[in-house]
Amino acid sequence: MSNQPETTIHDIARALKISASTVSRALNDNPIISQATRNKIKKAAEEMGYRPNVVAANFRTKRTNTIGVIVPLINRHFFSSVISGIEEIAYEAGFAVTISQSKDTFEKESKIAHTLFSNRVDGLILSIAMGTQSYDHLKLFSKRQIPLVFFDRVVDEIDAHKIVADDFGGGYKATRHLIEQGRKRIAMIGGPQNLKIYQYRQAGYLKALEEAGLQADESLILHNSLTREDGTQAIRKLMDAANIPDAVFCANDTTALSAIIYLQEKGINVPQDIAIVGFSNEPFSEVVTPSISTVKQPGFEMGKKAAVLLIRQINQKEAPENFETITMPTELIIRNSSRVI
Amino acid sequence: MSNQPETTIHDIARALKISASTVSRALNDNPIISQATRNKIKKAAEEMGYRPNVVAANFRTKRTNTIGVIVPLINRHFFSSVISGIEEIAYEAGFAVTISQSKDTFEKESKIAHTLFSNRVDGLILSIAMGTQSYDHLKLFSKRQIPLVFFDRVVDEIDAHKIVADDFGGGYKATRHLIEQGRKRIAMIGGPQNLKIYQYRQAGYLKALEEAGLQADESLILHNSLTREDGTQAIRKLMDAANIPDAVFCANDTTALSAIIYLQEKGINVPQDIAIVGFSNEPFSEVVTPSISTVKQPGFEMGKKAAVLLIRQINQKEAPENFETITMPTELIIRNSSRVI
DNA sequence: TTGTATGCGTTATCAC
DNA sequence: GTGATAACGCATACAA
């Protein structure tokens, strides 16, 4: 069971009585090598079980053909859609993709970023963790001219291409829809305000209220981390207050679900008594009862776009003179949690 | 905006008028270097913005401290639980984790395996794709003594540690539960029979039927790829036949959901008319109406176990004389889709 | 405890 | 078209 030594281009060169450089060139389909020798070399490589040592090549060329991706949680439908989009483009362009999850903590995000940097990924695509407030681990990349593309949860302080969904429009459309359903006291369960996306969703909500001549009520606006538990706590707080809402716009589907479950337990009718709209279009939102109205983000498309921009930047080797922020449209999906038929 | 050159250990050595090897040793906390010089070197490294070139080190040491993980789909709760388990252990042990998804196709799986191999991952943890029937891309690893651990969807033909859930027991418990609810004509929507896990789930089902003196009915056993669409088609086929079932055991939660939705549309009562049990405990199964009875697999624990075995094998550098197959317990969770109260 | 020398496998530069 | 040679940055065997 001894470790058989790796076949290298030198072994092939020796066997064929040619030089290693010719082997290298042939294997890389360098057109300068004649078709005949190229075939001969490839055949020999095949027979000898040659496997290129990519690590050595990466070391030599200073390129790894690898893109790093950091998402808060792999297991969110939106994020895994983005990942699929990134993979599709990267795959076509000959890049491998390394995926990591920050678990929404700054500590893990920073550690991952350093690891990816040390492993010399050619570029990085990421959506920052909820807890991230310092950006040294990302400045590392910009300082060394390693292309960086943000999506969804972006950072103003760093110059880079940014792909975002139209969170403002989503919040606006969701709220406007509730208003059109005749709701007057519309609460909001929002996310951490250090993240732009949650600021924008809330801004859209406020804008819709204002347009409709409805007074925003501070006591109806809550902020938390948007987990199942946070959602339950938030809806309880809303319902225990003096002046209960007749609708709730939730900044994600998870808290929308919490709200629905809590209200059902209390015998309160959704949507008749209280209408609910979520955000993100998680798969479960379609299949729960009542199905959850929500705002759909084009995750797959965002991933593709992010990868295209990143790879372009990698290949041109120059930092672009100006960075784009691309806003992709969101779509309100009206389901039973907000529609009084 | 020019690319500043990387600081190397030689730069530090020159600045400190010492040798590069001392710098290398100090930075790696080699105890042979005196505390004083170690501190001095680390301080200089810090000040000079030194970042180790991990690619170069990997190349030199032939180790990457990276574990490759291939799963069919990142976005399945079970798989992402496994990934979390793997990450937790790997993180503690100083390994990075590269995650890829095969999208359940052989082609992508094979391509990923080759990429990971070429990138010299120290070990591989994987659950094979539904379509995978040839194993050359995995034999690559065993041939070069690169440790390999399978989980969930394992391969008999390859010697390696294997972590599986008790699929047989899960199928058995699920079916027995349906029998205890008084069901007599229990159908099964099963998965591809080239995968052991689906064979075992079905074997458990058959065993429970047999024990109860119920005749297995071939017309009540269907096989497909267990997607939403497959599930809908399967339940339709079952309901269109002469002799309709009074319960269905589905090999995953996705098809269980399809069945429930289809039956509800047809005005058939779940569980009164037809009881349903799924498999895997996807998050949605708890929150749909009716909530779906299912079999829970200990994904997180399986991931941890797989990582522990893999890392042990990596560190001892020797192929173990005998490989273990570890079966982790499954748990039946009884919910409303099968419980007539 | 530190320094010197060497080589990992590949690609790139230059020569022929 | 092909070959010889150097170099990438680091870790290590050996020498001091």
A6 pLDDT band (50/70/90 cuts)? confident
User: CA triplet B79, B84, B89: central angle to 5 degrees?
Assistant: 130
Q: CA of A311 vs C1' of D7, distance in Å?
A: 28
Look over chain B and give the mean of its residue pLDDT values, rounded to a whole number.
93
Q: Kind of pairing, strands B148-151 and B161-165?
A: parallel
Question: Which pLDDT belongs to residue B133?
Answer: 87
Give the three-state DSSP class for B293: strand
Q: What percent of chain B is modeled with pLDDT above 70?
A: 98
> What's this model's pTM, rounded to 2 decimal places?
0.89
Question: Which pLDDT belongs to residue A320?
Answer: 78
Question: Which pLDDT belongs to residue A4?
Answer: 61
Question: Which pLDDT belongs to residue B90?
Answer: 93
Burial class (CB in 10 A: 0-12, 13-18, 19+), B254: buried
Q: Which of A86-95, A128-137, B184-193 has the highest mean pLDDT?
A: B184-193
Q: Is A96 on the interface with B (CB under 8 A)?
A: yes
Chain D footprint positions (protein CB, under 7 Å)? 1-5, 7-13
Closest by Cβ to A51, choosing from B51, B99, B118: B118
Q: Is the CB of B32 under 7 A from strand C?
A: yes
Cβ proximity of A338 and A270 under 8 Å? no
Cβ proximity of B259 and B328 under 8 Å? no
Chain segment B201-248, per-residue pLDDT in tens: 999 999 999 999 999 999 999 999 999 999 999 999 999 999 999 999
Q: What average pLDDT does the segment A132-159 reach? A: 91
Q: What average pLDDT does the segment A81-98 reach? A: 92
Interchain pair A54, B120: CB under 8 A: yes
Q: Is B265 on the interface with A (CB under 8 A)?
A: no
Interchain pair B77, A75: CB under 8 A: yes
Among A64, A87, A119, A270, pick the best mutation site for testing chain B contact (most B Cβ within 10 A). A119
Q: What average pLDDT does the segment A328-337 reach? A: 98
Chain segment A280-302, per-residue pLDDT in tens: 999 899 999 999 999 999 999 99
Chain segment B284-333, per-residue pLDDT in tens: 999 999 999 999 999 999 999 999 999 999 988 677 788 999 999 999 99
Lowest mean pLDDT among A2-11, A299-308, B77-86: A2-11
Q: CA of B316 vs C1' of C8, distance in Å?
A: 22
Our CA dihedral for A297, A75, A291, A301, rounded to 10 degrees, sits at 20
Chain segment A37-47, per-residue pLDDT in tens: 999 999 999 99
Q: CA of A57 vs C1' of C10, distance in Å?
A: 5
Q: Is the CB of A27 under 7 A from strand C?
A: yes
**Sign of the Cα pseudo-torsion (A100, A102, A108, A114, in order):** positive
Q: Is B98 on the interface with A (CB under 8 A)?
A: yes
Q: Which of A190, A180, A178, A263 minimizes the C-alpha distance to A222?
A: A190
Q: CA of B57 vs C1' of D9, distance in Å?
A: 7
Question: Which pLDDT belongs to residue B4?
Answer: 60
Residues in chain A, overall count: 341
User: CA triplet B186, B189, B194: central angle to 5 degrees?
Assistant: 130
Retrieve residue A272's tokens.
Answer: 């008749």
Q: What average pLDDT does the segment A145-164 reach? A: 94
- Tally of CA atoms within 13 A in the half-sphere of A72 that contains its CB: 20
Residue A263's H or E segment, with its range, is helix A253-265
A1 pLDDT band (50/70/90 cuts)? very low
**Owner of token pair 């170069």:** B56
> Which residues are bridge partners to B222 per DSSP?
B189
Look over chain A and give the mean of its residue pLDDT values, rounded to a whole number.
93
Chain segment B140-170, per-residue pLDDT in tens: 898 888 999 999 999 999 999 999 999 999 9
Distances (CA, A) of A21 to A11, A33, A41, A227: 12, 10, 12, 57
Chain A positions touching B118 (Cβ under 8 A) are: 51-54
Interchain pair B120, A53: CB under 8 A: yes
Chain segment B135-146, per-residue pLDDT in tens: 999 998 988 889
Q: Is B239 on the interface with A (CB under 8 A)?
A: no
Distances (CA, A) of A23 to A35, A195, B59, B161: 12, 52, 20, 38
Chain C footprint positions (protein CB, under 7 Å)? 1-5, 7-13
The domains of chain B, with CATH numbers, are: 9-52 (1.10.260.40), 65-164+299-328 (3.40.50.2300), 167-297 (3.40.50.2300)
Q: Is the pLDDT of residue A58 over 50?
A: yes
Chain segment B51-80, per-residue pLDDT in tens: 999 999 999 999 999 999 999 998 888 999
Q: What average pLDDT does the segment B263-280 reach? A: 96
Question: Which pLDDT belongs to residue A44?
Answer: 94
Q: What average pLDDT does the segment A103-125 reach? A: 93
Q: What average pLDDT does the segment B276-281 reach? A: 97
User: CA triplet A299, A117, B307: central angle to 5 degrees?
Assistant: 75
Q: Is the pLDDT of residue A116 over 80?
A: yes
Interchain pair A53, B100: CB under 8 A: no
A2 pLDDT band (50/70/90 cuts)? very low
